[in-house]
């Protein structure tokens, strides 16, 4: 029936082998799992680093950081530096749809598992998603990449902060995070193409590319004007007022993007006189007199409480929001309405941001313990228990 909700996620039946660690890759595969894919997380004997990036730690001793990126997966720990470990990996790839990894470029080739020469030949329907800092070639090819380093190199820090603070790292690992989304999109594009061609392909996602693509509108402004973007704090280089302002009992962010919204804002705060001021009549004029505009706005907003102000502005069609802490943000009733706080199996995390009408995603179970599902996964792949015992005994498999 048109419009009916189906019982399974959009990716039910897809099998993912996840060799990635830390953030971008695990985030990508968690999103695949949220939408129904069977994700097998393969860690090295030392484990995914994020298991140890705490405190805080959960009741099982795993860092909260790890839990944010690995729900809904099954896990085993495998030493891929040994030939026996690579034989197990190839066994798991026989019925896999996607392989995700973020090794330094050349690692799989060194192990005799390069995509072009080996994997694409043995597993022609496999989609191989490679996540790296800079890609495999070029002046920086093959070098390691980390979020904050890419923020610095690609100009993101140069436009984040104030003249007093100087260039500052954006407070979340934004390059890693968006790279995970780019990998997610690339995998879905490759799976869509496979429906037509019957063949998989390689998906190449680099933090470097993501970081440069994030420079909107700063890169476009520079390419057009030749002027180097600078530090604006919370302000916008092209829009005013679009910034954080002090109010009577806290701070509010005003997202006023056109003249109509500015008119409604001025009427709502009883400052229609600003509409007659030639300095503020258009966005271009407001940008030229942004400091004077800030003085007028903050002088007026000091009479308002943040909650009342934001409610009345939003109801009048003026985007405005309180500058909340993380606990305040998650306490908002709209979080529950949008199902953006998951609490199950003793695990609490942010919910699924991509919502499908007919095949809605569903948060998977708690993040796996180290090596927790090794026997189950390998038995499904056809290995006998004696063979699995031998892999544990020789150290090829770690964990339970």
Structure tokens at 110: 């060194």
Contact partners, residue 105, CB within 8 Å, separation at least 6 = 130, 132, 135, 136, 137, 141, 142
C-alpha angle 187-26-112 in degrees, rounded to nearest 5:
70
Residue 100: which of 62, 139, 73, 82 has the closest Cα?
73
Token pair 């090596």 is found at: 371
**8-52: pLDDT as tens digits:** 899 999 999 999 999 999 999 999 999 999 999 999 999 999 999
Contact partners, residue 145, CB within 8 Å, separation at least 6 = 132, 133, 134, 206, 207, 208
pLDDT value at residue 3: 64
Burial class (CB in 10 A: 0-12, 13-18, 19+), 59: exposed
**255-269: pLDDT as tens digits:** 999 999 999 999 999
State the catalytic residues: 176
Pair 250, 306: CB distance under 8 Å: yes
Percentage of residues of the chain with pLDDT beyond 70: 99
- pTM over 0.85, yes/no: yes
- What's the whole-number average pLDDT of the chain? 95
Residues 288-297: b if buried by 16+ CB within 10 A, e if exposed: ebbeebbebb
Pair 382, 376: CB distance under 8 Å: no
Domains of the chain, earliest start first: 15-214+340-398 (3.40.50.10540), 242-331 (3.30.1540.10)
Residue 258: which of 318, 322, 337, 178 has the closest Cα?
318
What is the DSSP annotation of 309-362?
A: HHHHHHHTT--EEE---HHHHHHSHHHHHTT-EEEETTEEEE--S---SSS---
Q: Between residues 5 and 355, which one has the greater pLDDT? A: 355
Token pair 């973020």 is found at: 102
Residues 334-343: b if buried by 16+ CB within 10 A, e if exposed: eeeeeebebe
pLDDT value at residue 8: 85
pLDDT value at residue 378: 96
**106-141: pLDDT as tens digits:** 999 999 999 999 999 999 999 999 999 999 999 999
Give the mean model confidence (pLDDT) for residues 302-330: 96
CA–CA separation, 235 and 10 (whole Å): 39
Asked if residue 2 has pLDDT above 80, the reply is: no
pLDDT value at residue 1: 41
């Amino acid at each position: 029936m048109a419009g009916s909700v189906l019982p399974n996620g959009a990716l039910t039946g897809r099998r993912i082998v996840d060799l990635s660690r830390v953030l971008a890759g695990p985030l990508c595969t968690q999103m695949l799992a949220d939408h129904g894919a069977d994700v097998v997380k393969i860690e090295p004997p030392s484990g995914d680093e994020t298991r140890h990036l705490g405190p805080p730690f959960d009741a099982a001793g795993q860092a909260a950081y790890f839990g944010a990126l690995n729900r809904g997966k099954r896990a085993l720990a495998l030493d891929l530096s040994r030939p026996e470990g690579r034989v197990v990996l190839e066994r798991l790839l026989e019925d896999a749809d996607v392989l995700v990894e973020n090794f330094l470029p050349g690692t799989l080739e060194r192990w005799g598992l390069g995509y072009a020469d080996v994997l694409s030949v043995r597993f022609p329907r496999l989609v191989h998603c490679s996540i790296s800092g800079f890609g495999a070639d070029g002046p920086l090819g093959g070098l390691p990449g980390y979020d904050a380093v890419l923020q610095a190199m690609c100009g993101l820090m140069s436009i984040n902060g104030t003249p007093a603070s100087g260039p500052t790292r954006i407070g979340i690992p934004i390059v890693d995070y968006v790279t995970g989304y780019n990998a997610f999109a690339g995998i879905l594009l490759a799976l869509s193409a496979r429906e037509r061609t019957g063949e998989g392909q390689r998906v190449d996602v680099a933090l470097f590319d993501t970081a440069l693509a994030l420079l909107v509108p700063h890169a476009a402004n520079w390419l057009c004007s030749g002027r180097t973007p600078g530090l604006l704090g919370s302000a916008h280089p092209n829009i005013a007022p679009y910034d954080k302002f002090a109010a009577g009992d806290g701070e509010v962010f005003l997202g006023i993007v056109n003249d109509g919204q500015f008119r409604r804002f001025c009427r709502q705060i009883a400052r229609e006189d600003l509409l007659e001021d030639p300095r503020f009549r258009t966005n271009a004029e407001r940008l030229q007199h942004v400091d004077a505009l800030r003085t007028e706005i903050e002088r007026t907003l000091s009479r308002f409480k943040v909650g009342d102000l934001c409610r009345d502005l939003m109801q009048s069609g003026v985007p405005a929001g309180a500058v909340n802490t993380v606990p305040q943000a998650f306490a908002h009733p709209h979080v529950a309405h949008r199902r953006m706080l998951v609490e199950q199996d003793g695990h609490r995390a942010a919910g699924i941001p991509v919502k499908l009408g007919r095949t809605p995603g569903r948060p998977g179970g708690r993040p796996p313990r180290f090596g927790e599902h090794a026997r189950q996964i390998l038995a499904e792949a056809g290995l006998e228990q004696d063979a699995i015992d031998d892999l544990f005994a020789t150290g090829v498999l770690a964990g339970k």
